[in-house]
Structure 1
Amino acid sequence: MERYVDGFVLPVPTEKIDAYREMAAEAGKLWIEHGALEYFEGVGDDMESDMDGMPVRTFPEIAESSDDESAVFAFIVFESREHRDEVNAKVMDDPAMDPERPSEEMPFESGRMAYGGFRSLVSYEK
């Protein structure tokens, strides 16, 4: 089955990781409740790029993380792009999504988040 994935990379101040985790846990419940197949958020752990001399950019470089920030990688899996659009519309209409939430309460700077929607190219499942 072809899947569709929304992916994110963002820098989060390391001192705010717990607050971010709480926000992400609530968001994950919301996306799953409205039909997403999987919701994942991870904080950088092994961020050194040892690819046998092959030059690669690390997630902290992509996220432009400073020394006091951690790179977060997240993705949400959907059945298709159409399914993604349906689920995201339901999430945005949910009363739990408070558009009036002051941005200073956010545990990260949303303007520094990278985002993209991805259609399947290769996919294996066990």
Structure 2
Amino acid sequence: MSYVDGFVLAVPTANKQKFIDHARQGDSVFMEYGATRVLECWGDDVPDGKQTDFRRAVKAKDDEAVVFSWIEWPDKPTRDAGMKKVMDDPRMKPEVNPMPFDGMRLIYGGFSPVVELGSKSKSS
């Protein structure tokens, strides 16, 4: 069974390309340490809710976009070992790959899938 780390964050719209560059550099490190897939999704249709919503969850300002991201791992032990290596990797240090967003408003968590529909790619 796979394992998923999920993230929601607010990024200044003026920093979209900086975010993409930051993600490309950082996401390759996750892949190197065992992740099977990483998706970074720029908010396109993020409506205001009546009680809560993505924007409020990360205290997004008017000039910020919500980003929804996830990292897929083959299993939790691979994720735990890989995440430790990622956090220790010098390429992930803020002075090497600075975050173009307020990391204090990033929300994240690890999740065990309970339902999965669709097909996985099969090698021939």
Q: Mark yes or no: TM-score above 0.5.
A: yes
**Counterpart of 1:117?**
110
**Counterpart of 1:72?**
67
Q: Which amino acid aligns with 1:107?
A: P
What CA distance in whole angstroms lies between the structure 2 residues aligned with 1:114 and 1:94? 21
Query: For structure 2, which runs of at least 5 residues remain unmatched after alignment?
Result: 120-124
Aligned residues: 119
**Counterpart of 1:4?**
3
TM (norm. structure 1) is 0.83
Aligned counterpart for 1:89 among listed residues 78, 84, 91: 84
How far does residue 124 in structure 1 lie from its aligned partner after superposition? 2.2
What CA distance in whole angstroms lies between the structure 1 residues aligned with 2:20 and 2:115? 30
Q: Please state whether the residue corresponding to 1:96 is helix, strand or coil.
A: helix
**Counterpart of 1:14?**
13
Q: Aligned-pair RMSD on alpha carbons? A: 2.1
Q: In the TM superposition, what whole-angstrom CA distance separates every residue of 1:73-103 from its partner, at most 9, and x where no partner exists?
A: 010001121111011122223232225x289
Query: For structure 1, which runs of at least 5 residues remain unmatched after alignment?
Result: none
What CA distance in whole angstroms lies between the structure 2 residues aligned with 1:98 and 1:57? 32
Q: Calculate percent identity across the aligned residue pairs.
A: 37
What CA distance in whole angstroms lies between the structure 1 residues aligned with 2:68 and 2:118? 20
TM (norm. structure 2) is 0.84
